[in-house]
Structure 1
Amino acid sequence: LRLFCAGVEIRLLADVSIKICRPVALEYKRLNTIEPHDAPDPIEVKILRTWITDGFRAERCYLLIDKEGSVIQAIVNSGDERHIELQDTYFDFLPHERLHERTAAQSPLTDYIARFNCIITDRKTPTGKLLLKLQVEDTRANFTEIAIWEAVTKTVNRQSHNSAQFPAIIAVTSLKVSIRNNIYQLASTSATHLYLNPPIDLAKEIATRFNAVTIQTRNMITPKDLLEQKTTEHVQQRFVCNAWITSWNENKSWFYRGCKKCNKKVEKKSRHLDLYCISGTLTDNTTTATAILFDASMELFANTTCSEMIHQYTEKDTIPEPIQALKGQPKIFEL
C-alpha cells in the first residue's frame, strides 16, 4: 500500500516529520533509518491499525509497517483526514499454498486468516520468554501453528478465543514464515496483531464454508477404518475419531529431552526442553491401535506442561498418576 496524498503531512513520534508526496522515481526511505529532523522523504508502508486518540484534539493515529517489518506510529491532524481514504484495517492475506513464497530470510511479512482451532501452548520457555501457540485450519484442511511471542501474547484474550462459537475465524498480521520438516510455521513479530472474527467479507466466507459441517463430524472415522486406509493417499490429511486410551506403554519413558530449536532428542545434558512422548492403546470398540501422543497433544490432554509434571513425578519409566487417570476418558482425537 503506497501512501501518496499531496499536501498531507504526517507527524511521527520522536518529532520526526514526513511529507507524503506524489509518486516520483525516488527510493523509499526505510522506517528504521528515519532520524529526528530528517528531510520529508517518501516511504512505502502498509497500515496495520488506525484509531482516534482520547484527547481533546481527537487526532487520528496510524500504525505503519514497511517491507522489512519496521514499525512506526504516525499522527494525522483531524483537519487533514479528508485527504486519506483508507479502511480502518488493511490485510494482505496469503493462502497456505503460497506460504513457500515467504520462507526466505528477507521475505515480506505475511498476513494469514483461518479457523481458530485451539491453543496448544501457553507458557514461559526455559529462557523466560512468553510463548503462546495457536493451531489454525484453512478451508482445505491445512493445519498450521502460529507462535505468538513476548509482548504480543498479552494482547490475546484467551477466554474469548476458547469460548468463541464454532467456527471462530482469526486474522493474524505481520507474521514471519518458516518451514521445518516440510511443515510451515508462522511466528509473530513486534507488529503482529490478532483479530477474532474480523468484520470482513473473507472471514464471513470462510465461516460459511466451515458451517457446512461441524468439527465433530468432519473427517470422522473409526480406528478400524483408519487402519485400512492407504497412507499414500492421505498425506498430511487429518481425521477425527471418538475414542479413549485403555492402557499406556509402561516399557518406555513418558518424556524425553528435546532440542530447543527442533524438538529432536538430545543426549547431552545441555540446555534442553522436557517434552512429552508417550504411547498408548487407543480403542472405540471397533478395534485397537497404538497411538503416540507428542508434547502439544499431551499437554492439552493432561492440562499441564511436561516440565510441570516432572517437578512432581521425576521417574522417567513410571507413568505419573495424573496420566494414568486419563485412561478410559472418551475424547475427540485428531489423527
Structure 2
Amino acid sequence: MKDEINPSSLKTFTTIAYRCLNLKREARPRMTEVVSTLETALYYQESIQSPPIPLRDISPGDAAGPIEVRVVRRWIPPETEIECWYLFVDRNRDAIQVVADLRDVEHFNAIITLQSCYRVTNYICESCRYIGKVVPHCAIIRIGKAATFLQILDDGFPSHYFNFVTYENLRARLNKRQLLTDYVGKVEIESITDSLIQSDKNCLKIKLLQDPSGEVIEATLSGEVATLFDKDALMHSTVIAALTSMKVVENEGALQLTSTSATHIYVDPNIEQAKAIAAKFQGENTAIERSMSGNKDNESERNRATLAELLEKIPKHHTGTRFTCIASITKINKRRSWYYKGCTECLKKLKPRGDIMACADHGDILKPRYMYCVNVTITDDTKSASAIFFDEAMTSLLQTECINMVVDQGYKDPNIIPEPLHSMIRQTRIFQLELAIPIFKSSARFIINQVFQTTLPTTITLSTAPALSPSTPSSKSTRVKRKLPRSQDTDDDTAKLKKEKPKKSTRIVKRLKTL
C-alpha cells in the first residue's frame, strides 16, 4: 500500500496476520475466516476514496451513501410495539433517529452494540415523524436485514447526544407535535419521593434547578426508566442530571416534565453544560471552610463537631463541606450488602446482563472492581446516626483492599458481614464525613470519607445517667423500729395458739408421773 492506509483496515489486517502466526495449529484461523477478514480490510481501505456522508446532509429519499456513526441509544416505543428505535451520532455531533422492525430485533442485537462505532450502508431514508421525535432532523433512517454494519475504530465520535433547552424556552415545547425535550439541572434531592402510579409502574419525581436563583421544574420518571435511575449516585453532594426525550406538560399553570419511552438519564455527565451548572452552585455556601489541606493533622481536626450538632444541620446548606467527629461504629447493618462490583471506568455499581456484569455507560466489564459499601451506625457521647463507608474510607480503616477481602480471604457473600468488619465495632476513631441528603427515611445520614487514629479510650457509648437503686437502712444505725401492720385474723390465730399450748412446768409434771 503506497498511499494512506485506513486505521480500521490496518487493525483488521494485523489482527488476522498475528493469529495466522500462532504456534498452535488449532489456534490458527480457518482459510474461510482469513479470506472474509481480508475482504473486510480491503473494504475499509477502499472506503478512503468514498468518505462518509454527514448526517446533517441526509434527506428523505436520498441514496444510501456510507455513514460513520456511534450507536448511543436504543428504545422500544410501547405505543406501537412493532418497532425498535436507535439514535446514531456522527463525528460532527449531529444525530438521526433510526428505525427497525421489531421482528428483526434479534438480528440487530447480534450485530449492533450500544456505544460501538460502525460504517453503515444499504439503508433507506424516510421523512421524519412528528410523534416521538427526539432530534431536530427532517429525515429518519430505516434499516433492514440488507443493511450492512462494519465496526470501525472509535476516533472522534461523541459518547452522547444532547439538545438541551433552557427553562425560559420550555413553554414553546408544549405542542405535542414538537420535539421531545432534553433538560439538564441540579437535582434538589430532598424533594425526591418514591411512589406508585399504578400497581406495576414505579414513579420517581425529582426537581431540577439550572441556576441558584432560577425556577425549579418537576420531572416525573415512570416505568423502567425510574427503576434504572442510579439512586446510589444521589448520596453524593451535588448531583447534575441530564434527562433526554422528555415531554413538556402543564399542570395548574406550572410547567412539568414527564418521561417517555425514549427517555434516558445521565447522572453527572462529563459535558460542559453539566460542569457549568455545577460551578454555579459551588459558591452558594462560603461560611464554612471547604478547601482540603494536604496536612493530615489539619484534616483530622477540620470542622470538629458532635453527632448531635451535625444532625441539626441542613445537608443542602453544607454541600461539599467535610466535618470531623470522634465516634465509634456500634452496629453494622446486616440487611445491606457490604461490597459491590463496580465499573473500572466510573465506579458505578454494575448490573447483571446474562453471565456478564455490565455498566450502563461503559458496557460489559469483564474484570469488575470490588468496592466497599458498608452501612453502619456510628455513636459518640451525644447521639447515634446511620452512616455509609465507601471504598477509600473502609480500606483505610481495615488496612485491606476489598478485592483482598473477597478473593484472598474468601468472604465472597456480600450479604454475610466478614469477621474483620465485626472487629471494628466500638473502636474509637476520628471520622471525616459529609452530610448525606437522605432519599428515604432509612438512608444514611453521613458519608465517611476518611478515618484517622485517636488517642482517646477505645470505646464510646452514649452517656446516660446511672440508675439509682433504693437505699436500704442499716439495722445497726436504725434506732426506732417500725411496727408492721397486722390484720385482725392474724391476731386471733396467735391468741388461739397461745391458749392451746401448755405451759412448760405442766409438761414436766406429767412426764414425771409416767416414770
TM-score by length of 1: 0.46
- Write 1 or 2 for the structure with the bigger share of helix: 2
Query: Who wins on radius of gyration, i.e. which is larger?
Result: 2
TM-score by length of 2: 0.31
Q: Which protein has greater RCO, CA pairs closer than 8 Å, 6+ apart? A: 1
- Write 1 or 2 for the structure with the bigger share of strand: 1
